[in-house]
């Protein structure tokens, strides 16, 4: 024993069994923990670690931006679709217009062909009529040359009234369809002249050319009706007034006038008086 052991303040404090046990437990726990950590470290070194990352939650502003972007994308898609539909409609319209133009050209060509054919036929008909008229004029001219010596120039009775009436109309206008008193057409003048003596004649020259008895141009008398064309289809009439002259409403440029038979030789004549 130390020489100071009997002094209480110089004694080393004794460690109690519980303190020593607690310390031993703590040390053991630390060593155990280190051992486990070491083992875990060895295990981690042997196997790869899979780590899961969690994305942050969208904020309200970011969600709104995403929604706006989606709306814009949808609107753009709708615009593209609308434009595609418009382009398709324009293509169809252009195709239809091209087809319509082709049809119009074809119809115009057909109409032009028909018009040319009609003009050709009309020209042929005119040429035929002119040839016929030339032949008739030549024949009538020969008849007129002999008629001047055989026809009388003195009108009497109803014939004189008809001759005097048509001569009184000389200088008046030619108007198609007119029957006087200021203007006439050819058949209107003849009809009105014979009405003065109580004779009712048909209105048109075709019918007037067959209204009486056919007479030769070499045996004309004042008051006879002259006609141009064939009987029943005459295109002009006038009144013979004697001395190789006739009075008729010729055309709009000359009106009612008196002319020699050679001026426009008639085709035939009828007598109603």
Domains of the chain listed by start with CATH number: 128-271 (3.90.1720.10)
Tell how strand 183-184 and strand 173-174 pair up: parallel
Tell how strand 268-271 and strand 213-215 pair up: antiparallel
240 contacts 224 by C-beta, under 8 angstroms = yes
CB burial of residue 18 (10 Å; 0-12, 13-18, 19+)? exposed
Angle of the 157-168 helix axis to the 186-195 helix axis, nearest 10: 140
Tell how strand 256-260 and strand 245-249 pair up: antiparallel
Peptide bond into 181 cis (omega under 30): yes
CA distance 129 to 234: 12
CA distance 38 to 232: 142
In sequence order, which ranges of 47-153 are alpha helices (DSSP H)? 60-150
Instruction: Express each pLDDT in 133-153 by its tens digit.
Output: 555 544 444 444 444 433 445
Look-up: residue for tokens 């013979």? 240
Confidence band for 30, pLDDT divided at 50, 70 and 90: very low
CA distance 177 to 193: 15
Instruction: Express each pLDDT in 103-113 by its tens digit.
Output: 888 888 888 88
- Taking 90 as the threshold, does the pLDDT of residue 15 lie above it? no
Please, which residues bridge with residue 115 across strands? none
CB burial of residue 247 (10 Å; 0-12, 13-18, 19+)? buried
Tell how strand 225-228 and strand 268-271 pair up: antiparallel
Confidence band for 57, pLDDT divided at 50, 70 and 90: low
Q: What is the mean pLDDT of residues 72-99?
A: 85
Amino acid 35: pLDDT: 45
Q: What is the pTM of this model?
A: 0.47
């Amino acid at each position: 024993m130390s020489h100071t052991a009997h002094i209480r303040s110089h004694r080393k404090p004794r460690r109690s069994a519980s303190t020593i046990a607690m310390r031993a437990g703590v040390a053991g726990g630390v060593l155990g923990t280190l051992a486990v950590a070491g083992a875990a470290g060895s295990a981690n070194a042997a196997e790869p670690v899979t780590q899961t990352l969690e994305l942050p939650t969208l904020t309200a502003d970011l969600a709104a931006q995403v929604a706006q972007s989606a709306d814009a994308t949808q609107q753009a898609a709708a615009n593209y679709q609308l434009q595609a539909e418009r382009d398709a409609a324009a293509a169809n319209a252009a195709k239809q217009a091209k087809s319509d133009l082709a049809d119009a050209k074809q119809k115009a060509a057909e109409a032009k062909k028909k018009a040319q054919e009609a003009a050709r036929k009309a020209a042929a008909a005119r040429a035929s009529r002119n040839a016929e008229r030339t032949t008739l004029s030549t024949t009538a001219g020969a008849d007129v040359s002999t008629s001047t010596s055989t026809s009388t120039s003195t009108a009497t009775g109803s014939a004189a009234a008809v001759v005097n009436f048509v001569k009184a109309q000389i200088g008046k206008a030619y108007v198609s369809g007119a029957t006087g008193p200021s203007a006439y057409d050819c058949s209107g003048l003849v009809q009105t002249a014979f009405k003065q003596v109580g004779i009712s004649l048909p209105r048109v020259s075709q019918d007037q050319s067959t209204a009486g008895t056919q007479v030769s141009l070499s045996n004309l008398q004042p008051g006879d009706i002259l006609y141009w064309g064939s009987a029943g289809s005459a295109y002009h009439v006038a009144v013979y007034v004697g001395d190789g002259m006739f009075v008729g409403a010729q055309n709009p440029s000359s009106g009612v006038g008196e002319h020699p038979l050679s001026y426009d030789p008639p085709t035939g004549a009828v007598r109603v008086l």
